[in-house]
Every structure is written in C-alpha cells, then in structure tokens.
Amino acid sequence: DSVKKFQFESAASLYGAPSAVLTRPLLIGEFSCNPDLTTTANSLNRRYLINMDEKFKPTFDLNAGFERYVKKDPDIYSNDLRKLQEWAIFKRNHYDYESNHELFYEAEIVSCRGVLTNIARTPFQNDSWRIVAVRHNGIIYLHDCGAVDGRTFVTRDEKQARSTYWGHHFHRCMTTSRDGRRHVGEEDVVDTRQTFNSIFRSDIIIPDENLTRLKLTYAAEIKAVDNNNTFIDFRTCYERTHPNDWKSRWWFWWIQSHLVGVDRIYVGFKNENGIVRRVKMVKRTALKEHSAFQCTVAMNFLAKVLLEIKNQCDDSLQISHDRQKVFFEPADRDKDFLIEEFTKLT
C-alpha cells in the first residue's frame, strides 16, 4: 500500500501577498441539465432577473414549496464532471473540433468550479476533502470525490436541509424562466437537477520569477442573467443586529463570483423563520475590498495546489486535505470518472 505523502500545510498565514492573478474568464460554452438527467448544449434553463424598480418591496416566504423540494441524489450525481463530458461529446460529434485541446482552448486542467472553490476556501474553513486527478491525452481532469465520500448533497438534519432550500427558493423568487414564470406556486417545484451552466477558460498567473501560468477550463452553474445578459448571482444571509455580521462570508462569495466573472450579487436578508423583506445588491469589488487578505490567501492556496497537481500528475493522482495538511499519493480508487465515450475522443 502506498503511504500518504505530506506535501504542505494549508494555514492561512502561509499564503499572504503578493496574490496570484486570475485572468478574466472567457465564456467558451454552455449547457442545460434537466430533471430527466439529459444534458443539452444550449441555454434553455437560463433564468432572468425580475424587475427591481423603485416599487420593489419583497416579502418572500422561503419555506413555500419545501415539501416538494427535489434534491440531487448523491448516487446519481457522484460524477461531478459527467455533464461537462456529455457537453464535450456533443460538441465533438456535431462540430469540427480536431481535439479536446482545441475544444477546451488549450487548457492544462479541466474541472468544475466546485473543485476550485473547495480548494480555495481550505485555509479558512479547514474542511476535509479528496480529489482525484487523471491525465488523459495530455489534459488533467479533476474529480471531486465529495459525493462518493458522503459529503456532497447530504444535509446533517432538517434545519440544514431547510436552510439549503431557502437559498434555492430565494433564487427562484428573484428570477423568471424563459416563459416568465416566477414564484413557487401550488404546482411548482424547486428542482435542483434543473440548471444552466457555462464553461469558462481562464489562466491563473503565479507571481514567481517566471510568472507561471496555469491554464484552466471549468464548468459552473450560472444562476441568472440581468436585462443586459450579464451573469449575476444570489445569496441569503440572516438579518442580524450588527450590520457587519453578514460580511464575514464575503471572501467566499468573492471566490465563487470571481471565477466566473460575476460582478453583482443580490443578497436576501432573511429572519429566523425564512422570511425575506430586504434585498441588497453587492458588487464583487466591494467583496474584495472588505476581504482583501482572505481573497489573496484563497487565490494563492488554489494556485499552489493546482501547480503541484500539474507537476505531479503523470497518470493519476489523489489529493486530499485533513487537519491543515495537503497530501499527494497515487490514486487507487475513483479513477474511472471519465466516461467511455469521452475517453474515445482524442
């Protein structure tokens, strides 16, 4: 049996300035995921921000429809990279791409945004996680093992399940679908299997003497667009007595929005019963101004982990984090996340 190789620590104090830089994400594709588990290479499931004029006075009960809430089944959604692969198969079969290198715009590493954010937040949240990297035809693909390990799509108790639902429901309250439908009514269901996703190409530039670049392509769920077709995001937080309490999570909101070029986040302030009566728009620049140290640490730690993966992954590799330590070792399980039809592509 292989022995875990301790590589480096994740303490935030080790990853201060200067910061690694993410180039502005380039949109290179989109797809919709449907409740019947199909994936379509279009924007059919895109949602649109509601009209927020001066008359807008929200009163959202985020509990409405909870009994009809449809969550993702961890067993079915254990392969976080499957939908991106299905999009790639469709594009290669219907359009004239010579290789996956061309399709993914010469990326060295391909993943979902969730893998990147899980890594980036580690110095502050200290969660345990496990990732498997597989190199195929020169490209490294990353697989988050959270669902396999029983961490993703699982809620601890009824309270956490309801809180998660509140976030999904707020998103629905603030948006319309293509046919203009908005609130969760008697027959409507918040179904987390129905999503709109975009694919981005970006570089992380490391501030070393060579200005090393990490070339990334990643897929991410996009919550909605505004009337200019600009991507936006949504968050909820509790209405607290102290005005700065809700800002404690801004650094994490910044990471997620920064990776996909989202500049505006709409925040719903909820009470303990899940009622929202105030919505505030926050700009990504404000998030970073308030959390500059955390944002720098997150980007530097992400860059360090990805650089090690790039340098060490010749065939397959398992990367894990536990108790402020990152371990690299040969992958002995969960290496089969690249589906057969995808592996036949050059």
pLDDT of residue 127: 87
pTM (predicted TM-score): 0.94
Domain range for 277 is 5-343
CB 328 within 8 A of CB 304: no
**Closest of 298, 301, 206 to residue 255, by C-alpha:** 298
If one counts the domains in the chain, the total is 1
Per-residue pLDDT of the chain (346 residues; tens, 9 = 90+): 455 688 899 999 999 989 999 999 999 999 999 999 999 999 999 999 998 888 889 999 999 999 999 999 988 999 999 999 999 999 999 999 999 999 999 999 999 999 999 999 999 988 899 999 999 999 999 999 987 877 776 777 888 889 999 999 999 999 998 766 665 554 578 999 999 999 999 999 999 999 999 999 999 999 999 999 999 999 999 987 555 667 788 999 999 999 999 999 999 999 999 999 999 999 999 999 999 999 999 999 999 999 999 999 999 999 999 999 999 999 999 999 999 999 998 8
* pLDDT value at residue 208: 92
Vertex 178 angle, CA 285 and 71, to 5°: 75
Cβ-in-10-Å burial (0-12, 13-18, 19+) of 60 comes to buried
pLDDT value, residue 1 = 45
